[in-house]
Structure 1
């Protein structure tokens, strides 16, 4: 049996919505305030996590976000 790993972007004060500020929330854009060195470490961690995964489960909005930025990638399990 595989293991389930949950990855969630959250600021130290508990904000999870709109990390890049694209959605216009009051507290949005918090991820862009992360320093370059920390952002590189975060990206490495997420890449390692994704490469180790056998599958990804995405919600509707995350799926649309990925699809817009990675149009050449096919989705064997994608039901779109």
Structure 2
């Protein structure tokens, strides 16, 4: 996860557990570097924290939870 200026805020390897942390007001991008086998790398999510609330595409996120979901890769027919 990076700030608007590109500086690194958080970095971790997904292990199936939920990651929770507080962010200061500002703009951030949540980026997946690599995906598990059989999955596509998810599209980056840009969001803003304003007055302690997470906002994605101008819409306040319920519960301040941002979820990134990997889609299965399309496999060629057998």
**Which of the five TM-score ranges fits, normalised by the shorter chain?**
under 0.3
Looking at secondary structure, tell me which structure has more helix per residue. Answer: 1
Compute the TM-score of the two structures, normalised by the length of structure 2: 0.19
Q: Using CA pairs below 8 Å that are at least 6 residues apart, which structure has the higher relative contact order?
A: 2
Higher strand share: 2
TM-score (norm 1): 0.19
